[in-house]
Copies of this chain bind each other. A is one copy, B any other.
Amino acid sequence: MPHSAHEKKRVLTRVRRIKGQADALERALEAGVDCGTVLQQIAAIRGAVNGLMSEVLEAHVREEFGQAARSDAQREARVVELTSLVRSYLK
């Protein structure tokens, strides 16, 4: 998950950007840049991780709720799963 090639690519692009940011942070720390700059880089990574989490949840919603459920049981299972995802990660 996400299953569609389009969603998967968007999510992977975000993950690779985060890896690039972590590489840049590692180099900055090795070069001994000042604390304010380091914290700014870490805050940017935190923002990117939150954006990634949102993207994955949004893709999940589009993929799971974009088509009608085949049964009441399936609809109920989707709702239970999504509410539990929201509860776990909205923190």
Contacts and interface: CB of A to CB of B under 8 A. Distances in A.
**Interface size band for A:** 35 or more
Contacts of A16: 26
A36 B79 CA distance: 14
A73 B87 CA distance: 28
A3 interface: yes
A14 to B, nearest CB: 10
Nearest to A83: B58
A12 B27 CA distance: 10
Interface in A45-91: 45-46, 49-50, 52-54, 56-62, 65-66, 68-69, 75-76, 78-79, 81-83, 85-91
Query: Closest 4 CB pairs between A and B?
Result: A1-B35, A58-B83, A54-B90, A35-B60
